[in-house]
Amino acid sequence: MKLRRLAFASGVVLAVLVLASMNWNAYSNYRSMELQLPTIGRMEVLGSEMGRLQEIRRNSVRMAAASGDRTWEARYRRFEPQMDLLIAEIDRLDPMVYRGDAADTLSAADGALDRMENLAFNLVRAGKKVEAQAVLSSNAHEDQEDTYDAGMAAFNSDLQHTDDFVRTKLRVELRRTVITTLASTVFLVVGSVFLFRATRRWQRVLVESNSRLSQKSLELEEFNEQLDKKVSQRTKELKDSALASLNMMQDAVRERGISVQANEKLNYLAYYDVLTGLANRQLFLDRVAQYMRSAVSGAHKLAVVMIDLERFKNINESLGREGGDLLLIQMAEWLTQELGDANLLGRVGPDHFAVVLPNIKQEEDVARFLEKLMTDFLAHSFVVDCTAFRLTAKLGVAIFPEDGDDPEVLFKHADAALKKAKASGDRYLFYREKMSEMVAGKLTLENQLRQALDNEEFVLHYQPKVNLRSGQLTSAEALIRWNDPRTGLLVPPFKFIPILEETGLIKEVGRWALRKAVQDYLRWCASGLSAVRIAVNVSPLQLRHRGFVAEVEEAIAMGEGAEAGLELEITESMIMEDVEHSIASLQAIRNMGVSIAIDDFGTGYSSLGYLSKLPVDTLKIDRSFVIGMTTSPDGLSLVSTMITLAHSLKLKVVAEGVETEEQSQVLRLLRCDEMQGYLFSKPVPCDVFESRFLGADDLLGARVASSVI
Ligand code: C2E
Ligand code: CA
Ligand code: CA
């Protein structure tokens, strides 16, 4: 229904559009023709005007010929420009209208008459009246006159004809338009009717096919139902048969189970040592290969350690084979326990074990691990047949990637190192000799430092800090020194402090330094010296340690007012490692009344944004900037900026490592608050500091004096 209406409506719209365009076409045609009508009228007027002027001219030439009076010639000539204008106008309008032969005849006759009349005037001018008259009355002249008149009449009738022609043409045009309009209207109406009927037919066809479709879908549904039935029946059949074959398979598997177990056993034998249950050589090497890959991606090192039980042959002989086996089993268990992971172990020979240390940062880590392993090993007693044994072992180490980038090679090199160790007095050796020496040296130092701590060989030296304007002592920095009983103060802090840090000993040494500084301060106060605040350096390990705040608290609890004598120097990078935790700890410490300084400022990467958030009191500009300050303009502006920045954050500024008068002067100009450095004093032992800077000598002098009195 909708379709039909749409078709009908579009037919009507189309008809209206076509009719409108045709009528518009006819109308514009008619308008353009009509515009020509006034032109025709004007031509008629021009024609009769021409006729009139020609008449006057003709009379003038006759009068001239008759009277011999030449003034007629002037009258004659007077009309010439007027006629020229008329001719020009006719020429202009001429192409617009219907053009017959009359116009040509007319202008030909006019030309001929012109020529003869000029001849007559020439004769008049020459006084030949008779000859002039003869020309005018000649047959030729009369003929031309007749031709001209006839031409004029024809011209006018042509014009009349044009008029009729245009009007007729218009009428014909209009008629044609009306007819075509009517015809197209009829055509459109017929077309619309046809369309209308066609859509009705299509509709009928659609309805029919629709009903056929629904019939088909009904059939389909029926078919589906049948199919469903068939499918469920078939599924049931399949399920039954699958169950049957599953049962069969289970039976088969049960039968084959025995052989699978045998296979597993074979596999086991291929990769494991039956006696100890550890990986055998093959599996151990596979695992090393795996650890190597993760060492490469994690950019760390890896170590393979070969362990050889010494005198095992003797033990085997004295205990018998079974006793030896028991010992090996116990050894495997003990190693597993020490390493905490059996995957790191392998039994690679009758009395050879191998260990892989998969994540190594430095060779010393390996050495430290081995030292501990050997100490524990020597202390452990193995019991076989109620007899306790202490065993000894030799070890060889190879490091990946330096000693080999292939498991086999690494293994071979660890074995080579082991052989060398067995031939030497060393308990373990690295594949590279240099490594062994270096590690040995470091470990010796490490052991010595451990002893130094136990034997209280560390001392604190004090370096004064002074006010840059007044030059007065303000405080002191406590700097640790190792007073080795054999060599004295030979080993400088930059050599032993890193080792204390690596080994974690710094936690204890740092705690000692903290307590010692507080004790010294309290003693200064008690003995009437002009005590100053002592700045103690704190290592990253200490700050990270959860108990650090409590340690500080304990230290200042040693005496009343101790907090006023303590400052902690913490490096900038240390704070940045764990900003949140650092801020919390520093805040707690500051709340106790202890002040805080940022050490080596400028060498870390702290963002200035954080600086304002840090609970600190003082900023220590690193020595490198103090040196740079007087050697380059950039260096100077850098220090100047640091000082301004610190002051804007209400921090006190201390310049470190001031060695020259020039440096101190520049710093004074830059309004730095305090300085510390060799210029004023090197770090000195406690007693020297007391006598030189705290007035101990004066005090002693006064005491002596008073005791004398
Ligand atoms: P630091 O905290 O930057 O200490 C300043 C270092 O500069 C000291 O070196 C000091 O002797 C040196 N120094 C002072 N004035 C001048 C100078 O004018 N010129 C030169 N060239 N050096 C000067 P020291 O005593 O060798 O200490 C080195 C570093 O060891 C210290 O650097 C500090 O980081 C660390 N340290 C010292 N004592 C302790 C401590 O008790 N605990 C911890 N954790 N670290 C400490
Ligand atoms: Ca310091
Ligand atoms: Ca410093």
Q: What is the reported pLDDT for 630? A: 92
Residue in the block written with tokens 């009076």? 69
Mean pLDDT of 116-120: 86
121: tokens are: 């005037």
Question: Taking residues 430-439, what's their average pLDDT?
Answer: 79
What pLDDT is stored for residue 153 in this prediction?
80
For residue 409, what pLDDT is reported? Answer: 93
Q: Which amino acid residue places its CA nearest to atom 30 of ligand 1?
A: 493
Residue 213: its pLDDT value, please? 80
d(CA 271, CA 343): 12
Between 202-216, 298-312, 395-409, 481-495, the lowest mean confidence (pLDDT) is in: 202-216
Torsion-angle region of 456 (φ positive above 0: left; ψ -120 to 50: alpha; else: beta): left
pLDDT at residue 113, rounded to an integer: 84
* Sequence-separated (6 or more) residues with CB below 8 Å from residue 298: 359
pLDDT band at residue 100 using 50, 70 and 90 as cut-offs: low
Nearest CA to ligand 1 atom 26: 493
493 lines ligand 1 (CB under 6 A): yes
Question: Is 96 a residue whose pLDDT tops 80?
Answer: no
pLDDT digits (tens, 9 = 90+) for 243-294: 665 566 566 556 655 556 666 777 777 789 989 999 999 999 999 999 999 9
Asked if residue 664 lies in contact with residue 438, where contact means CB atoms within 8 angstroms, the answer is no
Does ligand 1 lie within 6 Å of residue 480's CB atom? yes
**Contacts made by residues 327-332, CB under 8 angstroms, sequence distance 24+:** 327/382, 327/384, 327/389, 327/391, 328/275, 328/276, 329/275, 329/276, 330/382, 330/383, 330/384, 331/276, 331/382, 331/391, 332/276, 332/277, 332/278
Neighbours of 494 (CB within 10 A): 7
Mean pLDDT estimate for the chain: 85
pLDDT-derived band at 302 (thresholds 50, 70, 90) equals very high
Distance of alpha carbon 78 from alpha carbon 667, whole angstroms: 120
Is the distance from the beta carbon of residue 659 to the nearest atom of ligand 1 less than 6 Å? yes
Residue 205 has pLDDT above 70, yes or no: yes
**pTM, 2 dp:** 0.52
Q: Which of 561, 567, 488 is nearest to 525 (CA)?
A: 561
DSSP for 121-141 reads: HHHHHTT-HHHHHHHHHSHHH
Tell me, in angstroms, the distance from the centre of ligand 3 to residue 622's CA: 6
- CB within 8 Å of 332: residues ≥ 6 apart: 276, 277, 278, 345, 347, 353
Ligand 3 centroid to 656 CA: how many Å?
A: 6
Residue type (1 letter), 113: L
pLDDT at 686: 97
CA of 454 to the centre of ligand 2 (A): 25
Q: How far does residue 599's CA lie from ligand 3's centre (Å)? A: 5
250 versus 306: the higher-pLDDT residue is: 306
Percent of the chain with pLDDT over 70: 87
Q: Averaging pLDDT over each range in 52-66, 307-321, 514-528, which range is the top one?
A: 514-528
Residue with the smallest CA separation from ligand 1 atom 20 is 657
**Ligand 1 atom 21: the closest Cα is on which residue?**
657
Q: Is the CB of 678 under 6 A from ligand 1?
A: yes
Beta strand spans in 275-320 (E): 301-309
Does 101 or 509 have the greater pLDDT score?
509
Q: Is the pLDDT at 189 greater than 80, yes or no?
A: no
Q: Are 27 and 177 in contact (CB under 8 A)?
A: no
Task: Give the residue-averaged pLDDT of 326-349.
Answer: 94
Identify the pLDDT of residue 1: 57
CA of 509 to the centre of ligand 2 (A): 15
Q: Is 162 in the pocket of ligand 1 (CB under 6 A)?
A: no
pLDDT at site 406: 93
The dihedrals phi and psi of 181, each to the nearest 5 degrees, come to -60, -50
**Which atom of ligand 1 lies closest to the CA of 538?**
44
Cα distances (angstroms) measured from residue 27 to each of 13, 33, 130, 181, 350: 21, 10, 64, 13, 123
Atom 10 (ligand 1): residue with closest C-alpha? 683
**Region 296-319: what's the mean pLDDT?**
89
Helix (H, G, I), strand (E, B) or coil at 429: strand
Cβ neighbours, 10 Å, residue 450:
14
Matching residue, tokens 């049931």: 236
**Tens-digit pLDDT profile for residues 559-613:** 999 999 999 999 887 777 788 888 999 999 999 999 999 998 887 665 666 778 8
Instruction: Tell me which of 477, 509, 537 to substitute to probe ligand 1's pocket, judged by most ligand atoms within 8 Å of the beta carbon.
Output: 537
pLDDT at 617: 96
Residues with CB under 5 A from ligand 3 (ion): 599-600, 656
pLDDT (0 to 100) of residue 291: 96
Give whichever of 42-46, 367-371, 383-387 has the largest mean pLDDT: 367-371
pLDDT digits (tens, 9 = 90+) for 601-659: 887 665 666 778 889 999 999 999 999 999 998 999 999 999 999 999 999 999 999 99
Mean pLDDT of 429-441: 79
pLDDT surpasses 60 at 404? yes
How would residue 35 be classed by pLDDT, with cut points 50, 70 and 90?
low
Mutation probe of ligand 1 site: the residue of 479, 509, 574, 654 with most atoms within 8 A of C-beta: 479
Helices 363-379 and 433-454, axial angle in degrees (round to 10): 70
Ligand 1 closest atom vs CA 622: 3
pLDDT of 134-171, one tens digit each? 888 888 888 888 888 888 787 777 767 666 666 666 67
Higher pLDDT, 45 or 481: 481
pLDDT of residue 239: 66
Is pLDDT larger for residue 502 or for residue 459? Answer: 459
Task: Give whichever of 81-95, 219-233, 496-510, 680-694 has the largest mean pLDDT.
Answer: 680-694
Q: Is 501 in the pocket of ligand 1 (CB under 6 A)?
A: no
The CB of 436 under 6 Å from ligand 1? The reply is no
CA-479 nearest atom, ligand 1: 38
Q: How far apart, in whole angstroms, are the C-alpha atoms of residue 178 and residue 80?
A: 51
Give the pLDDT confidence score for residue 102 in this predicted structure. 73
> What percentage of the chain reaches a pLDDT higher than 90?
42
Q: What is the pLDDT of residue 281?
A: 94
User: Does 78 score more than 60 pLDDT?
Assistant: yes
Cβ–ligand 1 contact at 600 (below 6 Å): yes
Residue closest to 609 by CA, chosen among 664, 649, 557: 649
Q: Please report the DSSP string for 586-601 in residue order.
A: HHHHHHTT-EEEEEEE
Measured distance CA(341)–CA(353) in Å, rounded: 14
CA of 574 relative to ligand 2 center, distance in Å: 13
Q: Residue 541's pLDDT is what?
A: 86
Distances, alpha carbon 616 to alpha carbons 169, 295, 343, 598, 667, in Å: 112, 41, 49, 7, 21
Atom 37 (ligand 1) nearest CA: 479
- Which residue would you say has higher pLDDT here, 78 or 673? 673
Question: What is the pLDDT, as a whole number, of residue 656?
Answer: 97
Are 239 and 250 spatial neighbours (Cβ–Cβ below 8 Å)?
Answer: no
Chain centroid to Cα 129, Å, comes to 118
Name the pLDDT band for 77 (thresholds 50, 70, 90): confident
- The protein residue whose alpha carbon is closest to atom 22 in ligand 1 is 657
What is the structure's pLDDT at 412?
93
Q: How far is the centre of ligand 3, averaged over its atoms, from the C-alpha of 526 (Å)?
A: 30
Residue 29 is predicted with a pLDDT of 65
